[in-house]
Amino acid sequence: MNLTVSLGRLHLPNPILVASGTFGYAKDVSEVFSQVEKMDLAKLGGIIPKTITKMPRPGNAPPRTCETAAGMLNAIGLDNDGLAEFVAQKIPYLREVGSPIIVSIAGRSAEEYAEMAAVLADVPGVAGLELNVSCPNVAHGTDFGKNASACESLVTGVRKACGELPLVVKLTPNVGDVTEIARAAQEGGADAVSLINTVLGMAIDWRTRKPRLGNGFGGLSGPAIKPIALRMVYQVFRAVQIPIIGIGGIETIDDCMEFFLAGASAVQIGTANFYRPTAVMEILSALPAALAEAGVRSVREIVGMVEM
């Protein structure tokens, strides 16, 4: 069975990746993983560490997470130590893990995205970049993810700054027409798009009359959002020629197969890492048998093959 996938310039050993913000910087979770039999981070198709910004950010006021029916809300607010600290302290460990590292970045302006991309293009061990234009939990976090022309010029600028480094653009579901933004990312020179980031939501404690999150609103993730994500992957597959990484509520091999059929060439596992850390390895080991059951010899043969 051929598990390799190519997303434009980005070549991965298999299509099972872990999503930004749900896997720390790999070191943080490696202890949990080392206690589980057959866990080996080097086997992952790719790791997208928590989004970094140019300068450190403290994140939002607590509480930052809250459970909901079939999912969770978060409003972390891009809490991170900044680019320089990431390169000095996190990259050396990530490099050792042995699976492709796709660094997620968020800038306050197009210039800042490009500046960060130029720095990271020269860092050994960075396999690609994921442009987070879809964070619902910070002011202006989705400015480039909601406006097609802003998205296209952002990606064009980043592409110029980072040369041939593979570029993935991570899309927000909090738009009227996600295909417009996907097309803009393609026009700007993205190798792939990933979708979806979290769905903007809210929880209220009626007894205290206060929102359950310090930020008021937050991003909904987990099984609750899977149907939204599948529908958007299906639509984007029909709108662009570049490959898609599917994200949203994936926790089993069946979920993955559904995303492949909808049009995803690879998937990212997010919230499931919190409540079932074994999920990602279970999915990976079940993949060859599921592809065989579907009657194909590679992931590529099944992508977008849903029959309507």
Ligand X SMILES: Cc1cc2nc3c(=O)[nH]c(=O)nc-3n(C[C@H](O)[C@H](O)[C@H](O)COP(=O)(O)O)c2cc1C
CA torsion, ordered 10, 300, 257, 72, to nearest 10 deg: 20
**Tell me, what DSSP letter sits at residue 273?**
H
Task: Work out whether 186 is an interface residue with ligand X (CB under 6 A).
Answer: no
Task: Work out whether 74 is an interface residue with ligand X (CB under 6 A).
Answer: yes
Choice between 1 and 29, CB closer to ligand X: 29
Task: Work out whether 57 is an interface residue with ligand X (CB under 6 A).
Answer: no
Both tokens of residue 304?
A: 């977008």
Q: Provide the mask over 96-135, with x wherever binding to ligand X is found by CB under 6 A and - wherever it is not.
A: --------x---------------------------x--x
Closest CA to 15 of 224, 290, 226, 241: 290
**Where does residue 75 fall: left (phi above 0), alpha (psi -120 to 50 degrees), or beta otherwise?**
beta
Q: Provide the mask over 14-33, with x wherever binding to ligand X is found by CB under 6 A and - wherever it is not.
A: -----xxxx-----------
Of residues 47, 133, 165, 250, which one binds ligand X by CB under 6 A?
250
Task: Work out whether 218 is an interface residue with ligand X (CB under 6 A).
Answer: no
* Choice among 66, 135, 151, 162 that is catalytic: 135
Choice between 172 and 186, CB closer to ligand X: 172
Of residues 173, 188, 249, 263, which one binds ligand X by CB under 6 A?
249
C-alpha–C-alpha distance, residues 171 and 188, integer Å: 14
- Catalytic residue status for 66: no
Task: Work out whether 54 is an interface residue with ligand X (CB under 6 A).
Answer: no
C-alpha–C-alpha distance, residues 74 and 46, integer Å: 23
Of all helices (H) and strands (E), which one includes residue 26?
none
Minimum distance from CB of 78 to ligand X (Å)?
6
Answer for the pair 161, 114: CB distance below 8 angstroms, yes or no.
Answer: yes
Task: Work out whether 142 is an interface residue with ligand X (CB under 6 A).
Answer: no
Order of strands across the sheet with 46-47? 46-47, 16-18, 266-269, 244-247, 192-195, 167-170, 128-132, 102-105
For ligand X, the binding residues (CB under 6 A) are 19-22, 50-51, 72, 74, 76, 78, 104, 132, 135, 170, 197-198, 221-222, 225, 247-250, 269-271
